Amino acid sequence: MRIAAGSDHAGFELKELLVSYLEAQGHEVADLGTTNGVDSVDYPDFGAAVARAVVSGDADLGVCACGTGIGIAIAANKIPGARAAVIHDVTTAKLAREHNHANVVCLGGRTTGTATATDALAAFLAATPERGRHDKRIEKLRDLDGSSTKGDPQ
């Protein structure tokens, strides 16, 4: 898959680890920054960049990290068509994909350990959006931001 990745300084180390994991799994990763964990940057810039890559079709999915995953998810969700989910573990990752058809996942570099984060990302990638009753709810989400089918390659 083509995956866009981004983080602020607080998520930088986790983002680097997840990018390495994804590349080792054979995914094509576009790393949209930031480039180090020292210089303070603003998570909205990176969440928006990742979401725009997904919604435009340049990437199939997005992976974000900040201190908690929360701020960067809020930013990503401002982009119509993005469905960014903060995931904490395998269960939230799997359900974010199956029920919410998340196309961006966000993790916390200060809140989630590296093994748990990697397992969660693997579970997200292995999961498949479930149809039926969930499609109707996703359609309502699309109605809320007027995004039609943007960001839905699957």
By CB under 6 A, residue 88 contacts ligand RB5: no
Q: By CB under 6 A, name the one of 12, 21, 43, 46 that touches ligand RB5.
A: 43
Q: By CB under 6 A, name the one of 3, 4, 6, 8 that touches ligand RB5.
A: 8
Q: By CB under 6 A, name the one of 6, 37, 71, 81 that touches ligand RB5.
A: 71
Q: By CB under 6 A, name the one of 3, 5, 54, 66 that touches ligand RB5.
A: 66
Minimum CB separation from ligand RB5 for residue 36, in Å? Answer: 14
Q: Beta 28-31 vs 61-66: how paired, if at all?
A: unpaired
How far, rounded to the nearest angstrom, does the alpha carbon of residue 120 sit from its chain's CA centroid?
12
Minimum CB separation from ligand RB5 for residue 28, in Å? Answer: 26
The sheet that has 84-86: what strands, in order across it?
Answer: 28-31, 2-7, 61-66, 104-108, 84-86
By CB under 6 A, residue 70 contacts ligand RB5: yes
Residues 130, 60 contacting (CB under 8 angstroms)? no
Residues 64, 105 contacting (CB under 8 angstroms)? yes
Cα–Cα distance list, 21 to 1, 14, 91, 115, 132 (Å): 13, 10, 19, 11, 32
Minimum CB separation from ligand RB5 for residue 47, in Å? Answer: 9
Instruction: Indicate if 66 belongs to the active site.
Output: yes
By CB under 6 A, residue 75 contacts ligand RB5: no
Instruction: Indicate if 99 belongs to the active site.
Output: yes
By CB under 6 A, residue 37 contacts ligand RB5: no
Binding-site ranges for ligand RB5 (CB under 6 A): 8, 10, 43, 66-68, 70-71
Task: Cite the active site residues.
Answer: 66, 99
